[in-house]
């Protein structure tokens, strides 16, 4: 079965420093991987996805993610964190089969200190 793991419940980083939010996956076949962000009391907003092609995927708000097949990872990164990046981040993998449903990790809370 497809699954993703987010090993860190919370990541703390100072404003201006680079940030990394980790995600590892387990899939059969080719992985379709996604990152979403959730601000307090809001729904999920799509950040970026990896389907095929370049291992470095660029997304919204200056975020990028690196697909690493050998390490089965899809870590989210940003070169310089902003206080406004503080939010809950979810990694997800598309389930197999004909539908498009996603399987989500448990989420990582990113706290950026001024």
Interface residues with another protein (CB under 8 A) are 32, 34, 36, 41-46, 49-51, 90, 94, 97-107
CB of 109 to another protein, least distance (A): 10
Question: What is the Cα–Cα distance from 38 to 69, expressed in whole angstroms?
Answer: 26
Q: Compute and round to an integer the Cα radius of gyration of the chain.
A: 14
Residue (22 or 49) nearer to another protein, CB: 49
Give, in order, the Cα–Cα distances in Å from 1 to each of 24, 29, 113: 14, 11, 38
Q: Is the dihedral of CA 3, 33, 86, 39 positive or negative?
A: negative
Q: Which is nearer to another protein, 69 or 80 (CB)?
A: 69
For the bound state, the minimum distance from the C-beta of residue 92 to another protein, rounded and expressed in Å, comes to 8
Task: Please answer whether residues 78 and 67 qualify as being in contact, where contact means their C-beta atoms are separated by less than 8 angstroms.
Answer: no
Q: How far is the CB of 38 from another protein (least distance, A)?
A: 8
Question: Is the Cβ of residue 19 or residue 90 nearer to another protein in the bound state?
Answer: 90
């Amino acid at each position: 079965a497809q699954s993703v793991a987010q090993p860190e419940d919370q990541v703390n980083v100072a404003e201006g420093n680079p940030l990394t939010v980790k995600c590892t996956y387990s899939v059969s076949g080719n992985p379709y991987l996604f990152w979403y962000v959730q601000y307090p009391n809001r729904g999920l907003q799509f950040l970026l996805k990896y389907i095929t092609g370049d291992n470095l995927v660029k997304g919204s708000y200056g975020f990028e993610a690196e697909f690493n097949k050998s390490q089965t990872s899809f870590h989210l990164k940003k070169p310089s964190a902003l206080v406004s990046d503080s939010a809950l981040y979810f990694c997800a993998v598309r389930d197999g089969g004909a539908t498009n449903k996603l399987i989500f990790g448990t989420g990582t809370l990113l706290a950026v200190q001024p």
